[in-house]
């Protein structure tokens, strides 16, 4: 169910919008001031915002601007003055639509539905996000096969990358060198469990601040290694 946020200080209008939207199957949240509205818009997972321009505390222009800095959800601006439309256009606030009071609630519902449908198409067709693992300052982009330590990219060989990723994907799990060797190196590989030790050392040089006191990959003496979270 889509969640709509109404930011409107005129209770009668807000209630009317709410009734119509709920009848159409939407979940509705309501806020009466600009600052409360902004807070809800940023903290709640809302799918669309109906935003009145003249609001106490923080006005709709400001709310729209702030929301747009972080979210792409459709915003329908509601204005009591026709002149506001020019201002809205001029400011380039990133609102998707605007509607002037008085308006029919069914028209509002129709616009809400249209914008939600358009937004879902947009999001649905969007480029797939890279698969990323992030643990305390280490970012492993599995899709691009890149590793960043505190924002700085580090060069990893294929096996180093595979080993680090495997450990990071199984945090707090202790693996023996034998297990790691059989997971990361295929059967035909020349090498033995000493290879694992060498690779762990190389990885630590890239990710650890102090390799003698590892914060990420711990040595469990007599057993093996684990990625600590
Ligand atoms: Ca108002």
Q: Encode pLDDT of 198-216 as tens digits.
A: 999 999 999 999 999 999 9
CA of 208 to the centre of ligand 1 (A): 55
- Render pLDDT for 181-191 as a digit per residue (tens, 0 to 9): 988 987 655 66
Distance, CA 99 to ligand 1 centroid (Å)? Answer: 13
Tell me how far the alpha carbon of residue 59 lies from the centroid of ligand 1, in angstroms. Answer: 9
In which band, very low, low, confident or very high, does the pLDDT at 96 lie, cut at 50, 70 and 90? confident
- CA proximity to 71, closest of 134, 5, 137, 1: 5
Answer with the residue of higher pLDDT: 130 or 139: 139
Share above pLDDT 70 across residues of the chain, in percent, rounded to a whole number: 94
Q: Does residue 122 have a pLDDT over 90?
A: no
pLDDT one-digit tens code per residue, 5-17 = 999 999 999 999 9
C-alpha 102 – ligand 1 centre gap (Å):
12
The 10s digit of each residue's pLDDT in 28-38 is 999 999 999 99
- Reported as a pLDDT band with limits 50, 70 and 90, residue 62 is very high
3-state secondary structure the chain: CCEEEEECCCHHHHHHHHHHHHHCCCEEEEECCHHHHHHHHHHCCCCEEEEECCCCCCCHHHHHHHHHHHCCCCEEEEECCCHHHHHHHHHCCCCCEEEECCCCHHHHHHHHHHHHHHHHHHHHCCCCCCCEEEECCEEEECCCCEEEECCEEECCCHHHHHHHHHHHHCCCCCEEHHHHHHHHCCCCCCCCHHHHHHHHHHHHHHHCCCCCCCCCEEEECCCEEEECC
β-sheet bridge partners, residue 99: 78
pLDDT at 180 over 60: yes
pLDDT band at 125 (very low <50, low <70, confident <90, very high): low
pLDDT exceeds cutoff 60 at 75: yes
Instruction: For residue 40, report the phi and psi dihedrals to the nearest 5 degrees.
Output: -65, -40
Q: How far is the CA of 63 from the centre of ligand 1 (A)?
A: 13
C-alpha–C-alpha distance, residues 83 and 9, integer Å: 20
Report CA(40)–ligand 1 centroid distance (Å).
18
């Amino acid at each position: 169910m889509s969640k709509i946020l109404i930011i409107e200080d005129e209770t009668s209008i807000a209630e009317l919008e709410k009734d119509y939207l709920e009848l159409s199957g939407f979940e509705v949240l309501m806020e009466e001031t600009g600052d409360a509205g902004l807070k809800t818009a940023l903290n709640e997972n809302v799918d669309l915002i109906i935003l009145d321009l003249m609001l106490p505390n923080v006005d709709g222009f400001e709310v729209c601007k702030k929301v747009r800095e972080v979210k792409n959800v459709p915003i329908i601006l509601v204005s009591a003055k026709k002149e506001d439309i020019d201002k809205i256009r001029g400011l380039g606030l990133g609102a998707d639509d605007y509607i002037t009071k008085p308006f029919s609630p069914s028209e509002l519902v129709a616009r809400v539905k249209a914008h939600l449908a358009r937004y879902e198409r947009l999001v649905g067709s969007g480029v797939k996000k890279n698969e990323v693992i992030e643990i305390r300052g280490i970012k492993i982009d599995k899709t691009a096969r890149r590793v960043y330590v505190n924002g700085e990219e580090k060069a990893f060989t294929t096996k180093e990358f595979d080993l680090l990723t495997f450990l990071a994907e199984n945090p707090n799990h202790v693996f023996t060198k034998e297990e790691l060797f059989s997971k990361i190196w295929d059967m035909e590989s020349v090498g033995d469990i000493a290879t694992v030790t060498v690779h762990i050392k190389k990885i630590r040089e890239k990710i650890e601040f102090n390799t003698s006191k590892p914060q990420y990959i711990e040595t469990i003496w007599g057993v093996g290694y684990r990625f600590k979270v």
